[in-house]
Homo-oligomer: A and B are copies of this chain.
Amino acid sequence: MLKNLIENTASPWTMGDGTDSDVVLCTRIRLARNFAQYPFPLKQTETSGQAVLADLSAFCKDRNDLHFYDLHDVSPLEKRALVEKHYISPEHSKDDNHYRGLAVNDTGSVSIMINEEDHLRIQCFAPGLDLDDLWQNVNALDDDIESYFDYAFDERLGYLTCCPSNLGNGMRASVMMHLPGLTLTKRLGLLDQLSNFGMTVRGLFGEGSQSVGDLYQISNQSAIGQNEKDILTNLKSVTQQIIKEERNARNFLKEQNGLRLSDRIWRAYGTLSNARYMSSREALELISLVRLGYHLGYFTQLESAQVDQLYLMAQPGYLQVLYGHDMDEAARDVYRAEKLRATIG
């Protein structure tokens, strides 16, 4: 089942639909939780690390809709693809002496990282902008886990976490946005103001990652001293403001020089659907333009999900999983071009 989740052409952030999907690829809420009875992962022994895994494995069996995996049984390549699909963090894909586990549901809309920085990182995903439903889902799952286990919790501080930035409600909500309009109109500077609203901006793969393909993750900075609803309301309002600015930028580009814009977009499409050799970076740049074009009404022969799946084809790990073997960079560049053509053609 994990094999299927890794190999299929879908991922939580490339479903292609949902509310405001012209600008928002996906929404994610994750809760950081630790068990009261075990030392935190940083101080974990083999016994306590394995105990956490065993507890979660038992919980998954009980729930019946979650599948448990010990990541020591998953190949480095498959872990890389899991990162690219956003089921696990880059940190969680490391082959170190942590006792790393993963629980996922069939559709991939729920993923729990076990023994990452905290005992549990409970994540729920939804396509498009969908913070309210997502909050219901992750909250219900959290309540269910809490009905089985005692969380490390302090009356004054809230949920206890490894990193102080997660203390409190332990929640990070993030919205993956596609902002080619702001990029092309050189107005990305407005993202710098988000810190004034308690928000932070990250690249495609979270903390420390660069922005590629005009993709930006907007999320709350801190989890302490605010309740979840306030954070979500704030994030929703900030996101909607950015959506508005992005749409304005797209309209501006269309009106000011629609021809140049359509030329850039069609050339990107022509290159993606014909090249025989393509780096990940170039692919992401071209996909961004094609995605923009799709949401401007071009490429009516394509489906929204087909366009977003292109992002997966740009990823080195996922490509190698599809291929079934490790590949060097040159071989990947050829195979990537082939897969991009097949997806878009």
* A window 236-280: CB within 8 A of B: 259-260, 262-263, 266-267, 269-277
Assembly stoichiometry (copies): 2
The answer to whether B276 touches A271 (Cβ under 8 A) is: no
Interchain Cβ contacts under 8 Å between A and B, 16 examples: A259-B276, A260-B277, A262-B276, A263-B275, A263-B277, A263-B337, A266-B275, A266-B276, A267-B271, A267-B274, A267-B275, A269-B270, A270-B270, A270-B272, A270-B273, A270-B274
Min Cβ gap A289→B in Å is 11
**Prevailing SS type, chain A contact patch:** helix
Interface: A60 (CB within 8 A): no
A residues lining the B interface (CB < 8 Å): 259-260, 262-263, 266-267, 269-277, 334, 337
Complex: A277 Cα to B265 Cα, angstroms: 11
Residues of B within 8 A of A266 (CB): 274-276
Name the distance in Å between A165's Cβ and chain B's nearest Cβ: 45
| Smallest Cβ-Cβ distance to A261: which chain B residue | B276
CA A293 – CA B105 in complex, angstroms? 49
Closest to A278 in B: B263
> CA separation between A157 and B328, bound complex, in Å?
70
Q: Which residue of B lies closest to A274 (CB)?
A: B270
Minimum CB–CB distance from A47 to chain B (whole Å) comes to 53
Report A137 CB to chain B, min CB distance, Å.
42
Contact A269 B274 (CB under 8 A): yes
What are the residues of chain B within 8 A of A269 when measuring CB–CB? 270, 274
User: Hey, which chain B residues are within 8 Å of A274, CB to CB?
Assistant: 266-267, 269-270
CB distance from A145 to the nearest CB of B (A): 50
A256–chain B nearest beta-carbon distance, Å = 14
Cα A277 to Cα B257 in complex, Å, equals 12
